[in-house]
């Protein structure tokens, strides 16, 4: 479903991604791990279409389309979803109105009818129950004054509402206590299916106890330097990122 | 120096036809002041960014004839704002109050010609409070209004009464076939423990230019509550200098929201005089300007007595070649200890040709106060825009949602539901919301 080939990207003078190659098939869960500054969040941002990043080289194909040619909203329409590491607070925009606009624009893009008020409410109630979310959050301004956990829940709630084909979770576990991690990962797991792909970006192995990946990739200096099964994450947890750095550096010297 | 000679002839005509001696003397003094001060140019500190003098090169006609009956009830019906059905309405035609077109449905409100009130049981109130704004606004524009007082009105909300129906004030200029200068004047007295909501709007009929130079003075007594909403959504040929002077003479509560969406040159003077201990005042404003409109909000909160609280938030969206000015003065007199005064002005510029000049001005002469001010001028937040787009919302709609959210901060303070929906509708239409 997603095919990244030799992706090079950066901002201004700084090159951050140095030739990423990654294939994700429907039904697969991939985790990208790596030390701070390795380019994990940049990769997530580039895939979602954040303007600050410039793609210098390479290609990304998503469900047969050239992803890099699409605007961020069209990427969402095609079925890509990014759960933000830092969800944005928008005072004055109610969470309900925001989600309604999003759901209906995405439906329009997919050639579906806009949801009427009753069906929309029904869908919303169902997905809120999934995320253990308090109804009161929905009438509040989007993310304004939400706790870290509420923000991340809101991200996965939006994901549930938009029903993406590929979800990218950018450090979704950062700053969450154990209960929040359970709720969030439970939400993600319910959305797993043979038709959907998930790309998790995380610094720690912790989240992978709850959302078990099929593949783990290690990102270092803007490149995937090691890939393996889920056990690789445990090894990283035990040995830290230092051994990866050493391996890479030795490899370069040779 | 401006040539004020153009006003000499109508002034003499007014003085000879309208022979009320009390008013005559007030007008005479103001006309002398006008001669001394002239119409302010941009050299006047308070008019630095608003070229009001340019309006005086146009051929605005000042009617001094007693009654203007050119506007009919039918004309008025098409201009009414939502919520009006349940409201009292006060109508000014070309600056003069029209009893015929006004409609008073509440029995708790008194409305009469100002010169009449000056002679009956309201005389003491009128003498005490009328013209208080002249102490604050020392310029020829303000004097010009006073020099031509005619058809002015006195309004009182009775002691201990809650006005269940708001009061809608329509300032209508009849610019059919000629350009009009209108100068409405009123004194509104909110009695002790009374509560009232006022909605004021400005409309021009016809395609010629108009210029409304208005002064409204409010007096708010002990334990009274005043809500005041000003809605400005005129054509670009309609110019407006609008002074709202609110003097809180007893521990009282005021809440004002000024919404400016369209017009030619628009200048609002909003003065809040906290002239008793423990007064509270909230000032909100939203200006959303496009084309070549010019909006200038000058606000003043004068803390005369100790222990008062004021909070002010003005927000602006400026597009096209429009220009906005915000000048917010907070004055804390030496005896006004324990003052709490907050002020904030936030602006979003949507085009390269749009401009804003914002100036907070704190003059604090007491030492035990809490005051803050801040202003921002920026563009739409890229991060917010990307967030919305990443959820499938088109860039155009995402911008509209963000701007609406920015405005919502002010709209939520319009407590009259039909009015809030009306203003919200105007803004959504301007933003060209297209959320299917």
Check if B393 contacts A (Cβ < 8 Å). yes
In this complex, do B388 and A102 lie within 8 Å of one another by their Cβ atoms? yes
Q: What pLDDT, in 10s, does the model give residues B304-344?
A: 999 999 999 999 999 999 999 999 999 999 999 999 999 99
Q: What pLDDT, in 10s, does the model give residues B5-52?
A: 888 989 999 998 877 888 899 999 999 999 999 889 898 989 999 988
Check if A139 contacts B (Cβ < 8 Å). no
In this complex, do B392 and A98 lie within 8 Å of one another by their Cβ atoms? no
* Dihedral sign of CA atoms A68, A70, A75, A79 in order: negative
Q: Note the pLDDT of residue B434.
A: 57
pLDDT < 50 positions in chain A: 254
Contacts of B384 in chain A (CB under 8 A): 88, 90
Q: Note the pLDDT of residue A176.
A: 84
Q: Note the pLDDT of residue B268.
A: 98
Contacts of A49 in chain B (CB under 8 A): 386, 389-390
Q: Note the pLDDT of residue B178.
A: 87
Q: Is the pLDDT of residue B186 over 90?
A: yes
Strands (E), chain A: 2-11, 14-24, 29-33, 54-62, 65-66, 80-83, 90-94, 141-142, 166-170, 197-202, 215-220, 223-228
Q: Domain A2-253, what fold?
A: Rossmann fold (3.40.50)
Collect all residues with Cβ–Cβ distance below 8 Å to B360 and sequence separation of at least 6: B328, B330, B343, B345, B373, B374, B375
Instruction: Decide if the complex's ipTM is over 0.85.
Output: yes
Q: Note the pLDDT of residue B1.
A: 40
**In chain A, where are the structural domains located?**
2-253
Contacts of A101 in chain B (CB under 8 A): 388, 393, 397, 401, 435
CA distance A198 to A207: 13
Contacts of B391 in chain A (CB under 8 A): 73, 76, 98, 102, 106, 158, 162
Assess contact for B330 and B310: CB atoms under 8 A. Answer: yes
Q: Is the pLDDT of residue B152 over 60?
A: yes
């Amino acid at each position: 479903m997603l095919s990244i080939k030799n992706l090079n990207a950066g901002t201004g003078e700084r090159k951050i991604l140095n030739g990423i190659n990654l294939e994700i098939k429907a039904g697969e869960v991939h985790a990208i791990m790596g030390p701070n500054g390795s380019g994990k969040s940049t990769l997530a941002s580039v895939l979602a279409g954040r303007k600050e990043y410039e793609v210098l080289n390479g290609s990304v194909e998503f469900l047969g389309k050239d992803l890099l040619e699409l605007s961020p909203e069209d990427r969402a329409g095609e079925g890509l979803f990014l759960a933000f590491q830092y969800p944005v607070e928008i005072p004055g925009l109610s969470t309900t109105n925001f989600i309604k606009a999003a759901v209906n624009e995405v439906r329009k893009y997919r050639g579906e009818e806009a949801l009427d008020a009753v069906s929309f409410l029904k869908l919303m109630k169902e997905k809120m129950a999934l995320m253990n979310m308090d109804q009161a959050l929905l009438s509040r301004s989007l993310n304004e004054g939400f706790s870290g956990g509420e923000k991340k829940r809101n991200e996965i709630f939006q994901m549930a509402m938009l029903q993406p084909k590929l979800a990218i979770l950018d450090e979704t576990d950062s700053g969450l206590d154990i209960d929040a991690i359970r709720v969030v990962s439970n939400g993600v797991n319910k959305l797993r299916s043979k038709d959907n792909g998930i790309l998790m970006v995380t610094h720690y192995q912790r989240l992978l106890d709850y959302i078990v990946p099929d593949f783990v990739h290690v990102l270092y200096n803007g490149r995937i330097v090691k890939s393996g099964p889920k056990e690789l994450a445990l090894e990283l947890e035990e040995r830290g990122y230092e051994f990866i750095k050493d391996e890479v550096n030795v490899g370069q010297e040779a | 120096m401006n040539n004020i000679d153009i006003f000499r002839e109508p002034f003499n005509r007014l003085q000879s036809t309208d022979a009320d001696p009390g008013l005559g003397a007030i007008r005479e003094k103001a006309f002398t002041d006008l001669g001394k001060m002239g119409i302010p140019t941009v050299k006047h500190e308070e008019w630095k960014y608003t070229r009001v003098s340019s309006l005086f090169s146009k051929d605005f006609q000042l009617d001094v004839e007693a009654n203007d009956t050119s506007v009919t009830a039918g004309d008025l019906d098409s201009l009414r704002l939502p919520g009006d059905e349940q409201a009292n309405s006060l109508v000014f035609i070309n600056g003069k109050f029209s009893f015929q077109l006004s409609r008073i449905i509440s029995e708790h409100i008194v409305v009469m010609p100002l010169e009449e009130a000056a002679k009956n049981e309201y005389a003491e109130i009128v003498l005490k409070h009328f013209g208080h704004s002249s102490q604050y606004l020392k310029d020829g524009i303000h004097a010009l209004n006073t020099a031509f007082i005619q058809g002015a009105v006195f309004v009182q909300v009775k002691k201990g009464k809650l006005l269940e129906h708001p009061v809608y004030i329509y300032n209508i200029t009849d610019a059919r076939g000629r350009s009009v200068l209108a100068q409405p004047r009123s004194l509104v007295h909110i009695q002790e423990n009374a509560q009232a909501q006022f909605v004021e709007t400005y409309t021009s009929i016809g395609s010629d230019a108009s210029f409304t130079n208005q002064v409204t003075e409010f007096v708010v007594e002990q334990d009274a509550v005043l809500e005041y909403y000003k809605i400005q959504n005129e054509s670009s040929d309609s110019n407006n200098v609008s002074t709202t002077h609110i003097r809180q003479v007893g521990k009282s509560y005021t809440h004002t929201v000024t919404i400016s969406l369209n017009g030619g040159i628009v200048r609002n003077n909003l003065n809040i005089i906290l002239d008793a201990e423990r007064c509270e005042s909230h000032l909100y404003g939203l200006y959303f300007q496009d084309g070549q409109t010019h909006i200038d909000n000058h606000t003043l909160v004068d803390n005369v007595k100790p222990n008062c609280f004021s909070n002010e938030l003005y927000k602006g969206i400026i597009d096209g070649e429009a220009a906005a000015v915000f000048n917010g003065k907070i004055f804390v007199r030496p005896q006004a200890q324990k003052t709490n005064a907050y002020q904030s002005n936030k602006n979003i510029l949507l085009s390269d040709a749009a401009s804003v000049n914002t100036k907070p001005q704190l003059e604090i002469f007491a030492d035990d106060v809490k005051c803050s001010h801040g202003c921002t001028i920026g563009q739409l937040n890229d991060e917010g825009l990307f967030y919305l787009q990443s959820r499938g919302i088109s860039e155009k709609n995402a911008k509209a949602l963000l701007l609406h959210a920015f405005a919502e901060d002010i709209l939520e303070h319009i407590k009259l539901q039909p009015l809030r929906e009306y203003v919200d509708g105007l803004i959504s239409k301007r933003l060209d919301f297209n959320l299917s």
